Amino acid sequence: MSDARIRLATVAAEWDELRPRLEPAALDTLSLLLARWRGTTGEAAEHAARHAARLLAEQLPDRFPDGGRLIAAPSRPDARHLGFSADDLAVLVLDGHRMVGPVLGEVRERLLAAPSLDAAEAAGRGCDPYAPVLIRLRGPGGPVRLPAFQFDRDGRVLEVVREVNPLLDADLDPWGAADWWLSPNAWLDEVPARLLGTAAELQVLMAARFLGEGE
């Protein structure tokens, strides 16, 4: 027997190997169950997690030879497998990106916790939220989140952001670009986003150019 969340976490940890073995219809059902699990609490969430765990056992009988048997007690919220959690599986299936696991999962949470605008808020300020020059992160459930440091008080994209984001390949690697902006930078001796609007703003562009030349 196993904990339902442990089984979900196990599939997240082994996603590259196990994903191709899931039938399309089963993957659709898994998506619905994970969305229900994420959107509810208490018994409803536990019920969805158990159904998802049993579905995975049916699809992957050699990986889960105990079948659909699960422990009687409720799943542990902190249940993990190799540092992966059930929430990581929801991110992989529902959110469409791979910022999961013991390292990238923490980065995901930190970046999503930073001030941001949703697509409607950005559009309401006269900005195209899907412009290639902008960093777009996918929050829980898949909605677009645009880190707020990219905009001035009137909602316009800062000029230095327009110049730096392409250097960071923000359109292809938004999480990496956001992490560069929101993490301490040894070359600048500061978090780059904190220098926007200051006398040191030009140094941010120079640091991004230096990064590109170094590659």
Q: What is the pTM of this model?
A: 0.85
Strands (E), the chain: 80-81, 84-85, 116-118, 137-138, 144-147
- Average pLDDT over the chain reads 91
Rounded distance between C-alpha atoms, residue 168 and residue 176, angstroms: 8
Predicted local distance difference test score (pLDDT) of residue 3? 86
Q: List, for residues 31-52, the tens digit of each pLDDT value.
A: 999 999 998 988 999 999 999 9
Predicted local distance difference test score (pLDDT) of residue 142? 81
Rounded distance between C-alpha atoms, residue 164 and residue 106, angstroms: 25
For range 137-161, the mean pLDDT: 92
Contact between 211 and 164 under an 8 Å Cβ cutoff? The reply is: no
**Does 8 score more than 60 pLDDT?**
yes
**Does 78 score more than 90 pLDDT?**
no
Q: Report percent pLDDT > 90 for the chain.
A: 77
**pLDDT band at residue 1, thresholds of 50, 70 and 90?**
very low
- Torsional class of 33: left (φ above 0), alpha (ψ -120 to 50), beta (otherwise): alpha
For range 140-156, the mean pLDDT: 91
- Poorest-confidence range of 58-72, 129-143, 150-164, 201-215? 58-72
